[in-house]
Chains A and B, each alone.
Chain A
Amino acid sequence: MQRIGVFVCWCGSNIAATVDVEAVSQALAKEPGVVFSTNYQYMCSQTGQDMIQSKIHEYNLSAVVICSCSPRMHEATFRRTCEKAGLNPYMVEIANIREQCSWIHKDRAEATEKAVILGRAAIAKVQLNAPLTAGTSPVTKRALVIGGGIAGIQTALDIADAGFEVDIVEKEPTIGGKMTQIDKTFPTLDCAACILTPKMVDCAQNEKITIYAYSEVEAVSGFVGSFRVKIRRKARYVKEDVCTGCGLCTEKCPQKKVPNAFNLGLDTRRAIYIPFAQAVPKVATIDADYCTMLRTGKCGVCSKVCEAGAIDYKQKDEVIEREYGAIVAATGYNPISLAQFDEFAYSQSPDVVSSLEFERLMNAAGPTGGTLLRPSDGTHPKTIVFVQCVGSRCDGAEKGKPYCSKICCMYTAKHAMLCREKYPDTDVYVFYIDVRTPGKNFDEFYRRAVEEYGVHYIKGMVGKVVPENGKLKVRASDLLDGRQLHIDADMVVLAAAIEPDKSARPLATMLTASMDTNDFFTEAHPKLRPVESPTAGIFLSGACQGPKDIPETVAQAGAAASKVIGLLSKDQLTCNPCVAAPNEMMCNGCSSCEKVCPYGAITYVDKEFRGPNRTTLIRRVAQVNPAVCQGCGACTVACPSGAMDLKGFSNRQIMAEVDAICL
């Protein structure tokens, strides 16, 4: 029988307002094994912790039950407290009487009764607790950054700066991401390429950074400190180390009608291409979907003109395997498809464009060389209508996103301002629901668009756009003036909602990192651990965690890097001792546990056992690698013979808890 101490926390009024803490500590004092029971205002405070330690000594306690907030909040705190007083940290149980009791009940009597029951269950469990010792595992001092946009680039640069090796995996032929397609950046209007490309070059030149461009993560195994990652290096059909990036092949290739993805299909490129002038690595890539040589075997022009002899039509995808201590997800975002918003005539008229397409139409390296021209007839638009919140803040699942995409208010103000500055004879309308400009110098920027540049900001929404005789008939509401507007526009620009990149969901499955319903990666704590995934060793950087602008992305990238550096600077990591362990005498070798294990922690071995009458027999039994096991418990449920058990959460302990609640 354990000597148990019970400590009931008031959590200020968080618990005490709904739960009669005095009644709880008195009721629990009568439970078998309890030798001391008390309550206190803030158990996690220094005074509270000191009290726990002194009572451990005074009553010679062998186990402790704390009735307080969720174990996710303070289990580690109280384990440390008890460890300092000489108790094994795994002899501490937390009864969550805050999140699971006081916060969700209104009736005091009901809540108090439930708090007593939860405390009783924890006491029943701790009776069966055994001291556990955590092992250690080594740390591979190398990080992987998945995604080579501004988030990934900044994270990699910061990690490399601390002296650790970093690999960047980028699925496109070049790093740089969305920022390479942006013309100017708000609120200072500096050119995106001018501030981004030096960072891209830094990545390429940094000895600690390896860039795997045109590559994708294919499989991830292992755990924090020692992940094993398979990376598919897609065939470029160009030898990356031989190509000089001279670009001659991209001029001579006879296949000229390939939609240029970098300019969002607004112009065309060749089948062999370098996405843009400042690409890193500056290496040509053959688009296998369009290359005549790869499709029919007849052409070979690029190979003939290449002086370096870099073209290799026989190149195959290559899968490499690397080990990492930490992984950073920086998979970024994409604008949503506008096909389902037909009221804005996006698929009916080329003059209805998305905001990202508008960036390309304003950019000097874009399809129009930086002159704003209508895609339909190449004329200067005189009236431009911007529509905000297209697909953002939508209710209902069929179209749109429920969240605010955050960046659209600012970039639309930027677009409107740039239009008026470059082409003062243009009429610019912005239809808004709310203008959201929190951020340093952001509201001033928006006000400048209105006050100095004369952009017409109209509170209301466009209801319909009809292409007619080369014009776009826009019908919209002006809510403040109380009238319906009819505008003959030359161009309509839609501020499309942004969504996580499609590669994020399968990646999250590989990383066992959690996501929300919108496919944004979930952080370990929304306020206090914003750059860590709940899965140990996985960190989050940039828009894959939620919509954000460039300054925020760079800040988060640095934060993720500092967390990675903190992890990689350790030589050993303490493992979780609450892992699965089989009872070999009961294991029948059926492999059920091996099949359900999401971490690949279970293997089978043939082992010699002593049989009756001095015989030996060989049996196939399960073995758990405690360094890989994460203690999820799936195997204990799957095991048909009840041989698998989880340390710290054994079947007996869980049944004791259930009995304490139900009996």
Chain B
Amino acid sequence: MIDMMEQITRIAGVNPRKCMRCGKCSGACPAYDEMEYHPHQFVSMVENGRIDELMRSKGIYTCLSCFACVERCPRSVEPAKLIEAVRCAVERQQGMDRLRPEAVPGLLNPDLPQQAITSAFRKYRK
């Protein structure tokens, strides 16, 4: 789990240990009542290695990515970036492919830039 924690902080590029538990993120969050884990809890859970619970949480998809918490955080912990990192981690799980190579031809569409398929494939195929 420690590795997972390192991976999350590396993807997010922020250090949850800088958090001083002021709760300004949760004071600013417009989606607070919709999330089972609130922004400040998120930071503390990443710091304590409780990544599994976060990855199973529906709340990570309720986050609006409005970045109010990123803007207001006085310690540059930037909770939304951690939430985004957990979302990435969910998508990048081994054996949890969401896009298979054989599905790609069917998705090809002359109006769609091919780069979109390529990057989606890279992102979801692990």
B72 touches A343 (CB 8 A): yes
A463 contact from B18, B20, B72, B76, Cβ within 8 A: B72
B21 touches A463 (CB 8 A): no
Tell yes or no: B81 within 8 A of A by CB.
Answer: no
B23 contact from A396, A400, A460, Cβ within 8 A: A460
A389 touches B22 (CB 8 A): yes
CB contacts (< 8 Å) of A475 on chain B: these are 27-28
A396 to B73 CA separation, bound complex (whole angstroms): 10
B76 touches A477 (CB 8 A): no
| Number of A-B residue pairs having CB atoms within 8 Å of each other in the complex | 68
Supposing A462-B27, A477-B27 touch, asked if A433 and B22 sit within 8 A by C-beta, the answer is: yes
Supposing A479-B40, A484-B29 touch, asked if A394 and B75 sit within 8 A by C-beta, the answer is: yes
Tell yes or no: B60 within 8 A of A by CB.
Answer: no
CB contacts (< 8 Å) of A461 on chain B: these are 22-24, 27
A475 to B24 CA separation, bound complex (whole angstroms): 10
A477 to B29 CA separation, bound complex (whole angstroms): 9
A475 to B32 CA separation, bound complex (whole angstroms): 11
CB contacts (< 8 Å) of B22 on chain A: these are 389, 393, 433, 460-461
Tell yes or no: B9 within 8 A of A by CB.
Answer: no
A306 to B76 CA separation, bound complex (whole angstroms): 58
Tell yes or no: B8 within 8 A of A by CB.
Answer: no
Q: Which of A414-460 contact B (CB under 8 A)?
A: 431, 433, 459-460
Supposing A343-B72, A460-B27, A484-B32 touch, asked if A479 and B20 sit within 8 A by C-beta, the answer is: no
CB contacts (< 8 Å) of A55 on chain B: these are none
B33 touches A484 (CB 8 A): yes
Q: Which of A466-507 contact B (CB under 8 A)?
A: 475-477, 479, 482, 484
Secondary structure class of chain B's binding surface, majority of residues: helix
CB contacts (< 8 Å) of A343 on chain B: these are 28, 71-72
> Min CB distance, A462 to chain B, in Å?
5
A interface residues, tally (CB under 8 Å): 21
CB contacts (< 8 Å) of A400 on chain B: these are 74
Closest to A390 in B: B74
B75 contact from A395, A477, A484, Cβ within 8 A: A395
B interface residues, tally (CB under 8 Å): 21
A431 to B29 CA separation, bound complex (whole angstroms): 16
Supposing A400-B74, A477-B40 touch, asked if A433 and B27 sit within 8 A by C-beta, the answer is: no
Supposing A395-B18, A463-B28 touch, asked if A479 and B23 sit within 8 A by C-beta, the answer is: yes
B 54-83 to A, binary, CB cutoff 8 A, 1 in contact else 0: 000000000000001001101110000000
Tell yes or no: A74 within 8 A of B by CB.
Answer: no
Q: Which of A372-396 contact B (CB under 8 A)?
A: 389, 393-396
> Min CB distance, B42 to chain A, in Å?
13
A475 to B69 CA separation, bound complex (whole angstroms): 13
Tell yes or no: B12 within 8 A of A by CB.
Answer: no
A463 to B38 CA separation, bound complex (whole angstroms): 13
Q: Which of A519-552 contact B (CB under 8 A)?
A: none
Q: Which of A81-139 contact B (CB under 8 A)?
A: none
A460 to B20 CA separation, bound complex (whole angstroms): 11
Supposing A343-B72, A395-B74, A395-B76 touch, asked if A484 and B26 sit within 8 A by C-beta, the answer is: yes
Tell yes or no: A464 within 8 A of B by CB.
Answer: yes
Supposing A463-B27, A484-B27, A484-B29 touch, asked if A433 and B68 sit within 8 A by C-beta, the answer is: no
A393 contact from B26, B27, B71, B74, Cβ within 8 A: B74
B 1-37 to A, binary, CB cutoff 8 A, 1 in contact else 0: 0000000000000000010111111111100110000
Show the binding face of A for B, using Cβ within 8 Å.
Answer: 343, 389, 393-396, 400, 431, 433, 459-464, 475-477, 479, 482, 484
> Can you offer 8 A-B residue contacts whose CB atoms are under 8 A?
A393-B74, A395-B75, A396-B75, A396-B76, A400-B74, A433-B23, A463-B26, A463-B29
